[in-house]
Structure 1
Amino acid sequence: MPKALKTKRNRPKQQRVQGQVDMPFLLLTILLVVIGLVMLLSASFPTAWYDIKDVTNNDAFYYFKRQAVYALLGFAVMYLISKLNYRGLEGLAIYILIAAFILMLAVKIPGLGITAGGATRWLKYPVQWQPSELGKMGLILFFASRLSKREDRVPLRFNQRTVMGRFLNLLERSGFIELIPYMIVLVIMIAILAVQHHMSATIQMVVIAAAILFAAGISIRWFIIGGVVVGGALGYMIMGTDYMTDRVKLWRDPWSEPLGRGLQAIQSLMAIGSGGLFGLGLGASRQKFLYLPEPQNDFIFAIVCEELGLIGAMLILALFALLIIRGYWLALRARDRFGSLVVVGIMTLFAFQVFANVAVVTNLFPVTGISLPFFSSGGTALVIQMAEMGLVLSITRQNPIT
């Protein structure tokens, strides 16, 4: 992929026209959203009916109706964004990133932020949402906008007569100086997320950054060095942070607290196991009847496995895989490097969210709080995900004519 993206600027100049959106990508998106709504209805109605948190007023369709409204809004947002010229975002990337930083810090302002589960990650206005979602998009746009001009960068020259100058010239030739702006932005992002105790978003930011840098052709040696540094830092954070250490211990042995914090993981595995090969049937899950906590949120895939079985779950994962593969294929065909890198960032984020959610549900990963795109309950998250799909569709509309 990096070589393919790198050669785009060397191609003959092409006439650009406003074409049609990529229909396979659009249809896969619509299909997954619809299936997600059906599964959300099935997974959520017992929780909504019993209303143990006193939020649904015993309305069994509460979560479904709420998600359906946001899905309609998401389709409208996706359509509008698909009509826009994505090139305008290149100049706005730095401002979007700065706005994301400010909003991510604003969660700590009394009266604006919402605290849940010991972490403050949400803003109250205009609706409850996580500004880190805007941060992910800001990071994608910033990295893509700068790296798309990478070949136009003029190498820096320092005074060769001084020791410092020779050292800086060595760093320039190695490519280290080029990476400094990206490292600064990433460190600021990680520092803000550390204040929020938002480890899952931190991992997602690192994955996004690595994917776009790789697609832009950054030398592989920097990924090896970065992997060692990030791995060491992650290990230090886990060992030095009580809440992370507790999560890892609980992940390794959820049966140590079978009626406490380990309950969700245990019941998730029971749901998956009881589904077998063909499942119990749509709507026939037993674990969603207050056995599996929050079945409509991060652990909805466990209900999918229980009701549709291994075959049904694999078919849904196959649809996700087709959407992701189609997205990367569209990145190769985008009219310019900026569009290519934006699609790479969006699809890598999407792919990681699917993988991480399924890994948590199957207890392959510790609980991270990453939802399953298009399936998990969460209106603002759904709208943002569909807006990202709209941006991919906007890029596909700019069809080149050679």
Structure 2
Amino acid sequence: MYPLIRRYLRRVDVVYLLLCAACSAISVVVLLSIGQTQLGSNNKASVQLIASLLGLMLAVVFSTADYHALARAWPLHGVVAWGLVLPTLFLHNVNTGLVTIGYDAGGTSNYSWYRVGGMTFQPAELAKISFILTLALHLSQVRGQVNRPKNLLLLFVHIVLPAAAIHVQGDDGTALVFLGIGLVMLYAGGLSHWLVAGGLTAGVVGGAALLALRPGILKGYQFKRILAVLTPDDPALADITYQQNKGAMAIGTGGLTGQGLLSGEHIFVPNAWNDFIFAYLANVLGFLGAAAVLLLLFALCLRTLRTGLQCPDALGCNICVGIFAALFLQCVINIGMNLQVLPVIGVTLPFFSAGGSSVVMMYLCVGIVLSVGMNTRRSKLEMQQIL
């Protein structure tokens, strides 16, 4: 048993695993503080701890799998993931015994959840992993020929259709993350710089024209959330800006070392355990604690990208780029929401925000990155033995 563990630890990226474990440990402690000071219950911290331990075990299991086989198994995970997503496009709060399909967890128009007993599950998180694997496989198959019109059209459909499906669910934040992941992977896969520039220009001009011609395309609360970033002091938007204003106040009053965990003196932030956990964290742990969290997340992003760049295989590189994009985009969007520079669109902070399904799925991504790294090191050792 111990020889197997030692051999595994020599092959795996232990630093990467420790970074993830450190993020989870801080998350559980902060959620414990929120539970004691706001909720009167440690339920969210308990769920986070169980999900993190389960996720860590699954990461170890997936790290020993062949990522090539995972990508080629796209009919299996694709059918499972999107088979769970598709019913939520049409069924909203439909009860079938213990299961509620299309559950709106926040009482909004976001019907992207399943409720099973007292627990909730968001299938878009599983679909995100399947999306990264299938797009990575697609890109590796057209390597060097991405800019051919037929290939580019098929890749565009591959990216847009999943994002559109998530949008129909009502989860526009996750839909934007899907779109961002796809575009980053496409660019890393060899998309022409001219096409990137042209696409960005067309997107900005087309988006502005669409809003001008059809201002009602955005839901009322969505338009108000954008205005809330531009005019946060507008009294007419007080109900929309309340959470972000409280979040900005919590970050600003944290000082160097914060108000302290389990202290009742913190600034109250609505739903601090979810999208605004960074604001609460900055308030109780201060600038030093917030900086430590940012460094941990930045190190995770860099190490994910480094694993991909070191991989000699296009598929492994594409997978790591996709997981890097998911991590990086969610961090930027979430922290931007907390700092009041981006509108609130319901994007969680990886590893930190409460949510069992999102934590487990994030650890599955970690396992796949570890698999790429382990296969890369094995290939290098085999090459050295041959030489």
TM-score category of the 2 structures, normalised to the smaller one:
0.7 to 0.9
**Deviation, structure 1 residue 85:** 1.4
For the pair 1:139 / 2:120, whether they are aligned, the reply is no
Change (3 A) 1:125 1:228: farther
Q: 1:351 maps to what in 2?
A: 328
Q: 2:18 maps to what in 1?
A: 27
**Number of positions where the alignment pairs a residue of Structure 1 with one of Structure 2:** 355
Q: 2:66 maps to what in 1?
A: 85
Structure 1 residue ranges (4+ consecutive) displaced by more than 6 angstroms after TM superposition: none
- Secondary structure in 2 aligned to 1:331? helix
Show structure 1 runs of 5+ residues with no match.
1-16, 50-59, 154-171
Which of 175, 179, 183 is the matching residue for 1:202? 175
Which of 148, 151, 155 is the matching residue for 1:178? 151
Which of 309, 319, 323 is the matching residue for 2:286? 309
- Secondary structure in 2 aligned to 1:113? strand
**Deviation, structure 1 residue 378:** 0.6
Q: Show the 5 A alignment for 1:224-239.
A: 224-232=197-205, 234-235=207-208, 236=210, 239=215
**Deviation, structure 1 residue 94:** 4.9
Q: Show the 5 A alignment for 1:187-266.
A: 187-232=160-205, 234-235=207-208, 236=210, 239=215, 240-243=217-220, 244-255=222-233, 256=235, 260-266=239-245
CA distance in 1 between partners of 2:54 and 2:206 (Å): 40
> Quick check: which one's helix share is greater?
2
**Deviation, structure 1 residue 202:** 1.8
Which of 263, 267, 284 is the matching residue for 2:246? 267
Q: 1:13 maps to what in 2?
A: none
Which of 95, 113, 127 is the matching residue for 1:122? 113
For the pair 1:300 / 2:292, whether they are aligned, the reply is no
Change (3 A) 1:73 1:233: farther
The question of whether the paired residues in 2 share the 8 Å contact of 1:25 and 1:323 is answered with: yes
Q: CA RMSD in A?
A: 2.4
CA distance in 2 between partners of 1:72 and 1:18 (Å): 18
TM-score scaled by structure 1? Answer: 0.82
**Deviation, structure 1 residue 352:** 1.0
Change (3 A) 1:177 1:368: same
CA distance in 2 between partners of 1:45 and 1:130 (Å): 26
**Deviation, structure 1 residue 83:** 1.7
For the pair 1:64 / 2:36, whether they are aligned, the reply is no
Higher relative contact order (CA 8 A, sep 6+): 1
Show structure 2 runs of 5+ residues with no match.
1-7, 96-100
Q: Structure 1 residues 25-34 or 254-263, which shifts more?
A: 254-263
Q: 1:53 maps to what in 2?
A: none
Residue identity opposite 2:229 in structure 1: W
Q: Structure 1 residues 260-269 or 367-376, which shifts more?
A: 260-269
Q: Structure 1 residues 301-310 or 229-238, which shifts more?
A: 229-238
Change (3 A) 1:318 1:123: same
The question of whether the paired residues in 2 share the 8 Å contact of 1:354 and 1:372 is answered with: yes
The question of whether the paired residues in 1 share the 8 Å contact of 2:143 and 2:189 is answered with: no
CA distance in 2 between partners of 1:105 and 1:233 (Å): 29
Q: 1:376 maps to what in 2?
A: 353
CA distance in 2 between partners of 1:114 and 1:106 (Å): 11
CA distance in 1 between partners of 2:54 and 2:316 (Å): 25
CA distance in 1 between partners of 2:55 and 2:159 (Å): 29
Q: 1:279 maps to what in 2?
A: 258
Q: Structure 1 residues 343-352 or 22-31, which shifts more?
A: 22-31
The question of whether the paired residues in 1 share the 8 Å contact of 2:166 and 2:172 is answered with: yes
Percent of aligned pairs with the same residue?
A: 26
